[in-house]
Structure 1
C-alpha cells in the first residue's frame, strides 16, 4: 500500500496523544494547577492534530462529516464517534485537575475506556480488510494499543513500568513482522482468484491500460527487502529498546521528553512499514505480486 504521510501522521500522533490522555485520565499521573493545564493541553493537541491530519487523505474533505452516519457498518464511522466522545469525556477531568474541583477520577476513567475503544476502532479499519492479508490479523489491534499505551506512559511517567511496556511492544513488533511476512502466501490468493479465471496458471500478457491509475498509485507499493530490514531495525530500537533504557537510566523529567522523541522516531518508521509492506490482492490483477 502507498504510505501516505497524512495517514502516518494521523495514526502516530493520535495514538500517542490518546495514550498520554489514558494515563493522565486514569490517575497514573496526577497533576494540578497550571502543570495539569499544560499536560492536558498537550494530550489534546496531539490527539486532535492527529485526527485532523486524517482528513488530508480524503478525496473530498468537505464530506468528512458523512463518516458519522455509517456507524452501524463502518469502523471508520465508529472511530469518529468514539474519538469525539473520548475528548468530551476527558474535558471535565481536565477542568477538575486544573481548577481543583475535586471531582475524583470518574470522568478520567470513562475517557480512558473510550480512548481504548477509539484506538481499537482505528486498528479495525485495517484489521477487517481481508484484501490485505498482512493486516487481517488480531495482532494489528494489539500493535495499535501497545504503541499508544507505551508512548503515552513514556511521556507521562517514565520508569520501570514504561520500560516493561517497551519490551512488550518490541515482542509485539517482532510477532507482527513474523506473522505478516507469510500472511499473503497463507491467504492463498492467486492471479486466477483475482481475475476469476481458471483452467491453468495465468500470467499477464499485457497491462489492462497504458497509464497509471488510482489503484496502482494507492494499492500497489513495493519496498525493497534491504530497506525493509533497515527500517525494522530502526523501528525496533527507536520505538522500544532505546526508550526502555532511557526510561530506566534518566530521572523522569529528563527521560520523558527524550524517550518520547526517540519513541516517536520509531513509531514513524514502524507506521511507514505498516503501510509500505502491506500487499493488496489487487496487485495480482496487474501481475505485481
Structure 2
C-alpha cells in the first residue's frame, strides 16, 4: 500500500498520546505518581497535543477533509467511525481528570478507569480499521491489534519517563516509570519481530487463479493489463518496496525504535539530574524515529489482492 505521511504521523502520535494519558491515569490513581500540578500540566498537555495533532493529521488524507464529521454517524458498522467517537469521548474523563490533578491536587479512580478504558478502546479501534480489511492479508491478522497497543505503550511510557525526570528530578518512584518504559519497549520489539516473521512466512490465500475463478483450467497469466498507464489502484494499493530496503528499514526501526531506547532508559537509572534527562531525551527521539519508520513499513509492505489483476503472483 502507498504510505500516506499524514496517516503515518497520526498512528504514531495518537497511539503514544492516548497511552500516555492512560499511564498518567493509572499511576496517578495507584498513588505511584504524585498529583503535582506542573507534572499534570506537562503530562496531560503533551498527551492532548499528541492526540489532537494526530487526529488533525488523519484528515489530510481525506479527499474532502471538511466532510470528516460525517464519519461519526456510521459507528454501528465502521471502525473508522468508532475510532472517531471513542477518540473524542476519551477527552471527557481525561480532561476532568487533568482538571482535578492540576487545580485540586487529587485524582479520581472512576475517571482514571474511564480514561484508561477509552484510551485503549480508541487505539484498538484504530488498529481494527486495518485488521478488518480482509483483502490485505498483512493487516487482517491477529498481530496488528496487539502491536498497535504495544507501540503506543512503548512511546507513551518513554514520554512519561522523560517528563517525570524533567519535572520531578528527585522523585523516588522514577525507577518504576523507567522499568515500565523498558518492559514496554521490549514487548513492542518482540511484537514487531513476531509480526515480520508472520508476513515473511505466509501469504494471502488469494491467487490469480482464485481471483479470476479460472483455477480449474490451469495456471493463470496476465495477458494484458487492465489499464495502459498507472492509475489510482496501482498508486495506492500496488506500492512495492524492495526486499533489501525493507530489511534495512526493519533493522533501523528495531534498533532506533526499541533496542537503543531501552538501553538508554536503563542507563538513565544509573545516573541522575540532567544526565538522566539527556539519556531519556535521546531514548524518546530514537523511539519516535523508529516508530515512524515502522509505521511506514506497515503500509509499504502491505499487499492488496487487487494487484493480482495486474500481474502479481501473490498478495
The two structures share one fold, judged by TM-score above 0.5: yes
Q: Assess if the C-alpha contact under 8 Å between 2:36 and 2:105 holds in 1.
A: no
Indicate the SS of the match to 2:228.
coil
Runs of 4+ residues over 3 Å off in structure 1: 28-31, 251-256
Superimposed CA distance per residue, residues 95-141 of structure 1 (whole angstroms, 9 cap, x where no aligned partner): 11111253423212211110000011100111111111111111100
Which of 273, 277, 281 is the matching residue for 2:301?
277
Q: Residue 163 of structure 1 aligns with which residue?
A: 182
* Cα 1:224/1:30, change in 2 over 3 Å: farther
**Cα RMSD between the aligned structures?**
1.5
Superimposed CA distance per residue, residues 55-111 of structure 1 (whole angstroms, 9 cap, x where no aligned partner): 000111121111111111111111111101111220011011111253423212211
How many Å apart are 1:211 and its aligned residue?
2.0
Distance 2:288 2:213 in 1: 43
Distance 1:284 1:30 in 2: 56
1:1-289 equivalences in 2 (<5 Å): 1-26=1-26, 27=28, 29-100=33-104, 102-157=106-161, 158-184=177-203, 187-198=204-215, 199-250=217-268, 251=272, 253-289=277-313
How many Å apart are 1:276 and its aligned residue?
0.4
Distance 1:160 1:41 in 2: 23
Q: Assess if the C-alpha contact under 8 Å between 1:29 and 1:156 holds in 2.
A: no
Distance 1:99 1:257 in 2: 28
Give the number of aligned pairs. 287
How many Å apart are 1:222 and its aligned residue?
0.8
TM-score, with structure 2 as normaliser: 0.87
Q: Assess if the C-alpha contact under 8 Å between 1:156 and 1:256 holds in 2.
A: no
TM-score, with structure 1 as normaliser: 0.95
Indicate the SS of the match to 1:159.
helix
Distance 1:167 1:125 in 2: 25
Q: Assess if the C-alpha contact under 8 Å between 1:32 and 1:100 holds in 2.
A: no
Deviates more, 1:101-110 or 1:10-19: 101-110
Deviates more, 1:40-49 or 1:203-212: 203-212
Q: Assess if the C-alpha contact under 8 Å between 2:35 and 2:106 holds in 1.
A: no
How many Å apart are 1:255 and its aligned residue?
3.9
Q: Assess if the C-alpha contact under 8 Å between 2:143 and 2:195 holds in 1.
A: yes
Distance 2:279 2:94 in 1: 26
Unpaired runs of 5+ in structure 2? 162-176
